[in-house]
Amino acid sequence: MMNKISVLISIASVLFTANQVLAGEHGAHCLNIISGEMKNCRIIVSPRNNSLEITFKSDKHQEANMTFRGNQITEVSTGEYAKKRGKETIGASLILGPLGALVGAFHKEDRTQFAIEYVDAQNQKNVTMIDIPTKHSERLRQDLELLTGLEIIGSEPARKSE
């Protein structure tokens, strides 16, 4: 009986570890394209499925969920460059207000912003934003680079909100 339990634990640990390598899951704040506001979200980066999924935690924001294929993502940037690219690409849409307040708007902790530029189904370039605690940003950076094959542009020193 003890041998069977040991075997099951071993198998479960291998499967769990393999799944973690294949897909990275991150909690963050993401741009709700519909409202133009940053909302709590879950990000799943899966090189195995060649996808980036952004799922909002609140039921009332589910219409803004997004899924991208790795080849739809044309650029990933961070820091001041990410905010600049977001403003340039989005132009005069309602994102300009929330983007200005993006840094320091959430918690009194170090945060990092990522701008994800992608091509939509109509072949138009769009940008979405991800805001994540800096202590978790390196793993997201690695997951995004692995998924897209792109080098992330820009750098961001840790920044305390005021």
User: Which CATH number belongs to the domain containing residue 29 in this structure?
Assistant: 2.30.29.30
Tell me the two tokens of residue 98.
């929330």
Domain tally, the chain: 1
* Cα–Cα distance for residue pair 67/101, rounded to 1 Å: 25
Q: Model confidence over 142-151: pLDDT tens digits? A: 999 999 999 9
* Cα–Cα distance for residue pair 102/63, rounded to 1 Å: 22
Q: Model confidence over 105-144: pLDDT tens digits? A: 444 568 899 999 999 889 999 889 999 999 999 999 999 9
* Cα–Cα distance for residue pair 124/126, rounded to 1 Å: 6
The enclosing H or E element of 144 equals helix 134-148
* Cα–Cα distance for residue pair 73/115, rounded to 1 Å: 10
Structural domain contains residue 11: no
Domain that holds residue 102: 23-148
Q: How many beta carbons lie within 10 A of that of residue 154, not counting itself?
A: 17
Lowest mean pLDDT among 51-65, 88-102, 121-135: 88-102
Structural domain contains residue 18: no
Instruction: Please state the pTM of the whole predicted model.
Output: 0.70
pLDDT at 150: 94
The enclosing H or E element of 115 equals strand 111-119
Structural domain contains residue 51: yes
